Structure formats: structure tokens, C-alpha cells
């Protein structure tokens, strides 16, 4: 037998493999995929760790439905913004569905992002060496909230208008720079057509770009550092117990070294504070 | 023998130890790799590339950021807007001429006044009323109506034109900018968003607003006369309210102009954003406005 006989006989699979090999040789896509997806994960990994991915999926859904909605939405205050949304909801085929997905997806994204943050916080998964993952996540949270604010105005009905007036004025009442932020957000001293265009641009161009960047960074950190162990991981508990034992032992040693120290029986627990005293 | 002759040109071969140049005396070409201050060719070119890239980036970003940010920071240009003849706002006879307890003093006229942007949909309330609405006697519980009426008449007889003024109140709530509505029952303004309450002159009576309702400059002019821009800027075109209130001149017109903010003592301040206190300790948090 020669080595040429090794491998699939199926010509379809053969050509598929050849294509993958062609791409892989030039891009390293196989290595990249293995690096990105086929990682070792700690014992005890559970559904809790899927919240971040869920948030990313919802972001993807918001992006896709938003792109489609932008094909029908007209950001014009003089008869256009409100009317085009009425048209999307009432007339366009499946417009009610896509708009509903985008509208409810926004709420779902906020909820999922907060659940994800709560999981990370309660598990202590933000600790060394994952601080920068947390920081990029915090930026993503801010961007998500700002996405909600800018998207809310686009409906351009009374509720959207006045709710956004109030929200922008809350920004504007921040100390020192507040009035400038208000003017920049409003595109002037008053709400008007320029405000809607500005919010539309921020909502569909500025923030999505920033969010994609930060999601990329967030993922890079996760892949580089690996996902954290749950707090009840046996390995982590063992490490923490060993650290605690080492601390107690060190305190005991310090207590012994002190002048006039009593030699405690080894079975006595000695607290670190007592040792120092 | 030629071999035994001293070789005078090469020192040290015959006359003692070698004194010529040695390998250890060799000075190497200067290597500046450990000198952080020395600019090598590579470092110079790197710095040039970084600086050039910075200049190019700034050339793109400065106009873009200025385009996005600088324009909104420009102030509004205000112009005087005609809102109607004076007779519409100054009731004839004026309210201080023989009022009875049922006379409403402080008539409120609601007007849509668009700002510089037609979509802004600004609304003002024009109030012709007492400078101090609290001075008006109110019937005390259990008070005989004849006693109250005599008390009221005594107060009313002392009224002069100087006790009244004409103000234009912007309906933008001083808390967070919702539109306030005039409520005739309470003779004041109420905000639907967070319950800010104001009296008929726009002073805060309750709720979260940090300052009274903003006002709009208002003036009465004689439409049959013309003034130069300088005279208008000096206010020489203004007809005093006391004169206008008793005048029968049909050419008197009411105009509104630039908005301004006031504090609870009705001191005037430059227009501030909603939520921003204009006087008191907290006003120092906004040093540049």
C-alpha cells in the first residue's frame, strides 16, 4: 500500500478536504478555529457560562433585523419617521415580525447582559487575570444602554420624544460638562430634525461599530485566558484551602518568632491577627 | 648578517617589551543600543512615521469631530416674534381698575411660538397679572363675606399699574424639560413627567425643579413707529407697560424674544438647561455656562 491510499475515497469529500486544505495552507484557518473553539474548559462548566454567548446572539439578531428595518425607515421628522414605522408595522410583509424582534430583542439584550454581568460578578470571574475582560464588558454594557436610548427616539411618537428629552436633559444636568453633552446629543439647544438624524446615525453606525470592536476584544480575552472555574470547583476550593492553610502556617511561624511567645499546641487554630499581636 | 641587523621600523622586537597598539586598545564602533537618548537612523525613521501618521489621522479626525460637535455648541440666534396686538393681552379695562373678588387677575394666554427651528414647537404662556400674586386677599375660613369684600375692596383700591407686569413663561419644565400645562384650578403650572409644580408666575411651589420656569423676553412696541437696530437693542422702542395698559392706541404690538432663566427671587440669569440650578451652591457645578 502506498500513502496515496490513505484518506477518503468519496470524491465529494476529497474535493471538500482539498478546498479546506487549500484555504488552511494559506490562512491557518484550522489552527485558528481550534484555538478559538476547541479549548479546554474547567470542570463544572454549566449553562451559566452560556449567557455571554446568548447576549452575542441577541446582538447579532439586533444587527440583522436592524439592517432590514433601515431599508424601510425614513429618519425624517416632517412626516416620515413615525409614518414609516406605521408602514413597517401595518403594511410591509412580516414588518410587524421584524420590528417586533428588534423591539423585544432590545429588552432581551438588556436582560441577558445584566444576567451575564451578575453571573460574572457573583462567581468572582472578573478577578485576576480577567480584569480587562470585565472592563471591556463594562464598555459593552454602556454601549448597550446607549443603544437603547438612541433607538427609543427613532419611533418618534410622543412617548419616544418626551422620554428622550428627559433622558438627554439628565445627561445635560451632569456637572461641568453636562450642558455641552446635552447640546452635542441634541445637535443644538432644541430637539429637532437634526437630533433624529444624529440619533439614527449613532444608533446604526457609531455604536454598532464600537460594539463589534469591543465584542472582538472581549472574545480575544476570553479565548486567551480561558473561562473561569465556578466557585464550587473542587480544584479551586483545594487551591483556596491550601492558600488558607499556608496563611495560618505563616501566622503560626510569626507567632513563634515573637519574643515571649507561647508555643501553641499544633492543633490550636491560630488566627493571623493573634499571630501578629 | 642581514637577519641580525636591528629592524628599526618595528618597535619592540629587539628593544624591550612591545609598546605598539594592542588588540585590547581597539575602540569598537560606537553602539548606542544602550543609550536611550541617542537617535539612531531606525528610531528617527520610526518617529517620522509615527508623527506623519498622527498628522494624517488628525487631518481626518479634527474636521470630523468639529463637524459633529462644534455646530451643536453654537448658540441660538433669537429674533423678536410678533404674537399679537396689545389689546389681546392687556385686558381693557385693566384688572386693577375696580376689580371684584371674582375678577381673575393674572390672565394666562397660551401661545405656540416656534423657536429657531420650526419643529421645536415651543409654547409660551403670556401672563398679565400681579407681580406678587400672594398679596391678593383670600377669604379666611368662617369669615363673613361682607367683611372679606370690604377687605378686598381696600386692597383693590390701593392697586396701581406698577403692581402688574406682563411676562412670558416658557412651558419647558425646569426639571428635565417636559412640557408643563397651565392648570386654571390651581392657578399654576404642573409638569406631567415628575410632578413639578409652579405658581402662576412660574415660581416653584413643589416637586423636583431646581429653579422656576424659564421666561421669554417680552415687550410692547408701537407698530406705527420705526426704530433702528441700535435703538431696539437699547430698548428705546419699548412702550412702558403702565402706559400701554391705559392706552387706546391700536398700533401697540406684543413681541417676544430671547429666553432667559430666573431663580426663585426672580433674578435673571442666562438661559440654562433643564435640571441646572442657576443660583445657590449647586450652580457652581456648572462653571462654564
Domains in chain A: ranges and CATH: 46-225 (1.20.810.10), 235-276 (no CATH)
Nearest chain B alpha carbon to A180: B73
Dihedral sign for Cα atoms in the order A100, A102, A108, A111: negative
**Could you give phi then psi for residue B26, rounded to 5 degrees?**
-65, 125
Instruction: Calculate the average pLDDT of chain B.
Output: 82
Give me the residue from A78, A172, A184 closest to B273, CB to CB: A172
Does A188 contact B76 at a Cβ distance shorter than 8 Å?
Answer: yes
The model's confidence at residue B120, banded by pLDDT at 50, 70 and 90, is: low
DSSP state of B75: P
Q: Is the pLDDT of residue B2 over 60?
A: no
> Residue B144: which pLDDT band, with cuts at 50, 70 and 90?
confident
Distance between CA atoms of B131 and B137, rounded to whole angstroms?
Answer: 14
Q: Is the pLDDT of residue B148 over 90?
A: no
- Per residue in B249-278, pLDDT tens? 888 888 888 889 999 999 999 989 899 999
Q: Chain B: nearest CA to A195, how far in angstroms?
A: 10
Q: Sort out which chain B residues have CB atoms less than 8 A from A162's CB and list them.
A: 178-179, 193
The helix/strand/coil state of B106 is coil
pLDDT tens digits along B57-104 = 999 999 999 998 888 888 777 788 888 888 878 765 556 666 666 666
pLDDT of residue A184: 92
pLDDT at A254: 80
What pLDDT does residue B1 have?
44
Contact B115 A190 (CB under 8 A): yes
Smallest CA–CA distance, residue A165 to chain B, in Å, is: 6
CA distance B93 to B1: 148
Contacts of A173 in chain B (CB under 8 A): 176, 273-276
CA distance B163 to chain A (A): 34
CB B172 within 8 A of CB B213: yes
Among the partner-chain residues A77, A166, A186, the one whose CB lies closest to the CB of B72 is A186
Contact yes or no for B144/B152 (Cβ under 8 A): no
Contact B68 A170 (CB under 8 A): no
In angstroms, the separation between the Cα of residue A205 and the nearest Cα of chain B is 14
Report the distance separating Cα B115 and Cα B214, nearest Å: 14
What is the predicted pLDDT for the residue at A277? 41
| Contact status, residue A129 vs residue A65, Cβ threshold 8 Å | no
Handedness of CA A248, A253, A257, A259 (dihedral sign): positive
Whether residues A192 and B117 touch (CB distance < 8 A) is answered with yes
Identify which of B179, B276, B288 has the shortest CB distance to residue A173. B276
Residues in contact with A44: Cβ distance below 8 Å, sequence separation at least 6, in sequence order: A229, A230, A232, A233
What's the rounded Cα separation, in Å, for the pair B178 and B180?
6
Residues B133 and B199 sit within 8 Å (Cβ to Cβ): yes
Nearest CA in chain A to B276: A173
3-state secondary structure of A203: helix
Cell of B252: 401697540
Please indicate whether residue B118 or residue B29 has the higher confidence score (pLDDT).
B29
Instruction: Test A176 with B119 for CB contact under 8 angstroms.
Output: no
With b meaning 16 or more CB within 10 Å and e meaning fewer, what string describes B91-115? eeebbbeebeeeeebbebbebebeb
| Rg of the Cα atoms in chain B | 40
Which residues have C-beta within 8 Å of that of residue A74, sequence separation ≥ 6? A80, A81, A83, A84
Q: What ipTM, to 2 d.p.?
A: 0.74
Q: What is the 3-state secondary structure (H, E, C) of B169-237?
A: EECECCCCCCECEEECCCCEEECCCCCCEEECCCCEEECCCCCCCCEEEEEEEECCCCCCHHHHHHCCC
Cell match 440666534: residue? B77
Contacts of B273 in chain A (CB under 8 A): 169, 172-173, 178-179, 182
Interchain pair B274, A188: CB under 8 A: no
pLDDT of residue A3: 61
Residue B184 has pLDDT above 50, yes or no: yes
Cα–Cα distance for residue pair B177/A170, rounded to 1 Å: 9
pLDDT tens-digit profile, chain A (277 residues): 456 666 667 888 888 989 999 999 999 999 999 999 999 888 888 999 999 999 999 999 999 999 999 999 999 888 789 999 999 999 999 999 999 999 999 999 999 999 999 999 999 899 889 999 999 999 999 999 999 999 999 999 989 999 999 999 999 999 999 989 999 998 888 888 889 999 999 999 999 999 999 999 999 999 999 988 888 888 888 888 999 999 999 988 887 777 665 665 655 665 555 444 4
Picking from B61, B74, B119, B179 by the largest number of A CB atoms within 10 A of its own CB, the best residue to mutate is: B119
Q: How many CB atoms within 10 Å of residue B224?
A: 10
Nearest one of A132, A140, A122, A202 to A168, comparing CA atoms: A202
Q: Chain A contacts of B286, Cβ < 8 Å?
A: 175-176, 178-179
Centre a 10 Å sphere on the Cβ of residue B78 and count the other Cβ atoms it contains. Answer: 15
The answer to whether the CB atoms of B286 and A175 lie below 8 A apart is yes
Q: How far is Cα B16 from Cα A216, in angstroms, rounded to an integer?
A: 77
Asked if B275 and B289 count as a contact pair (C-beta separation under 8 A), the reply is no
Instruction: For residue A184, give the nearest of B72, B176, B287 by CB distance.
Output: B72
Amino acid at each position: 500500500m502506498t500513502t496515496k491510499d490513505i484518506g477518503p475515497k468519496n470524491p465529494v469529500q476529497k474535493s471538500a478536504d482539498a478546498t479546506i486544505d487549500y484555504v488552511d495552507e494559506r490562512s491557518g484557518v484550522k489552527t485558528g478555529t481550534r484555538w478559538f473553539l476547541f479549548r479546554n474548559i474547567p470542570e463544572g462548566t454549566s449553562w451559566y457560562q452560556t449567557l455571554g454567548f446568548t447576549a452575542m446572539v441577541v446582538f447579532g439578531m439586533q444587527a440583522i433585523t436592524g439592517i432590514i428595518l433601515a431599508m424601510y425607515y425614513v429618519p425624517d421628522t416632517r412626516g416620515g419617521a413615525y409614518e414609516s414605522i406605521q408602514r413597517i408595522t401595518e403594511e410591509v410583509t412580516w414588518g410587524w415580525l421584524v420590528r417586533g424582534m428588534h423591539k423585544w430583542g432590545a429588552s432581551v439584550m438588556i436582560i441577558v447582559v445584566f444576567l451575564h454581568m451578575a453571573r460574572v460578578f457573583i462567581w468572582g470571574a472578573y478577578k485576576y487575570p480577567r480584569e480587562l475582560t470585565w472592563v471591556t464588558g463594562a464598555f459593552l454594557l454602556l454601549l448597550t444602554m446607549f443603544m437603547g436610548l438612541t433607538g427609543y427616539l427613532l419611533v418618534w411618537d410622543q412617548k419616544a420624544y418626551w422620554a428622550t428629552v428627559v433622558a438627554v436633559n439628565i445627561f445635560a444636568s451632569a456637572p461641568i460638562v453636562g450642558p455641552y453633552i446635552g447640546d452635542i446629543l441634541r445637535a443644538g439647544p432644541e430637539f429637532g430634525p437634526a437630533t433624529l438624524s444624529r440619533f439614527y446615525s449613532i444608533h446604526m453606525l457609531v455604536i454598532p461599530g464600537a460594539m463589534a470592536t469591543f465584542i472582538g476584544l472581549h472574545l480575544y480575552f476570553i479565548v486567551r485566558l480561558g473561562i473561569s472555574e465556578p466557585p464550587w470547583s473542587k480544584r479551586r476550593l483545594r487551591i483556596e484551602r491550601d492558600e488558607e492553610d499556608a496563611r495560618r502556617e505563616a501566622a503560626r511561624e510569626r507567632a513563634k518568632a515573637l519574643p515571649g511567645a507561647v508555643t501553641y499546641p499544633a492543633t490550636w487554630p491560630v488566627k493571623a491577627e493573634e499571630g501578629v499581636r | 648578517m642581514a637577519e641580525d641587523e636591528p629592524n628599526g621600523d618595528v618597535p619592540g622586537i629587539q628593544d624591550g617589551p612591545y609598546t605598539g597598539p594592542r588588540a585590547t586598545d581597539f575602540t569598537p564602533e560606537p553602539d548606542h543600543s544602550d543609550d536611550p537618548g541617542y537617535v539612531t537612523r531606525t528610531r528617527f525613521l520610526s518617529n517620522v512615521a509615527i508623527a506623519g501618521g498622527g498628522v494624517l489621522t488628525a487631518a481626518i479626525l479634527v474636521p470630523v469631530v468639529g463637524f459633529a460637535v462644534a455646530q451643536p455648541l453654537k448658540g441660538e440666534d433669537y429674533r423678536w416674534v410678533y404674537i399679537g396686538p396689545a389689546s389681546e393681552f392687556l385686558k381693557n379695562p385693566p384688572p386693577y381698575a375696580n376689580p371684584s373678588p371674582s375678577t381673575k387677575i393674572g390672565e394666562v394666554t397660551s401661545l405656540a411660538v416656534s423657536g429657531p427651528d420650526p419643529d421645536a414647537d415651543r409654547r409660551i404662556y403670556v401672563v398679565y397679572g400681579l407681580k406678587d400674586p400672594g398679596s391678593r386677599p383670600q377669604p379666611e375660613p368662617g369669615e363673613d363675606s361682607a367683611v372679606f369684600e370690604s377687605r378686598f375692596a381696600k386692597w383693590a383700591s390701593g392697586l396701581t399699574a406698577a403692581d402688574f407686569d406682563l411676562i412670558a413663561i416658557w412651558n419647558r419644565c425646569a426639571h428635565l424639560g417636559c412640557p408643563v400645562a397651565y392648570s386654571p384650578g390651581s392657578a399654576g403650572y404642573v409638569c406631567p413627567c415628575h410632578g413639578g409644580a409652579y405658581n402662576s408666575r412660574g415660581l416653584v411651589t413643589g416637586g423636583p425643579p431646581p429653579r422656576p420656569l424659564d421666561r421669554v423676553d417680552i415687550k410692547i412696541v408701537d407698530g406705527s413707529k420705526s426704530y433702528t437696530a441700535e435703538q431696539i437693542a437699547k430698548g428705546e422702542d419699548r412702550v412702558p407697560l403702565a402706559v400701554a395698559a391705559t392706552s387706546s392706541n391700536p398700533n401697540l404690538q406684543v413681541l417676544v424674544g430671547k429666553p432667559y432663566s430666573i431663580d426663585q427671587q426672580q433674578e435673571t440669569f442666562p438661559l440654562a438647561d433643564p435640571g441646572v440650578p442657576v443660583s445657590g451652591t449647586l450652580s457652581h457645578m456648572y462653571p462654564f455656562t
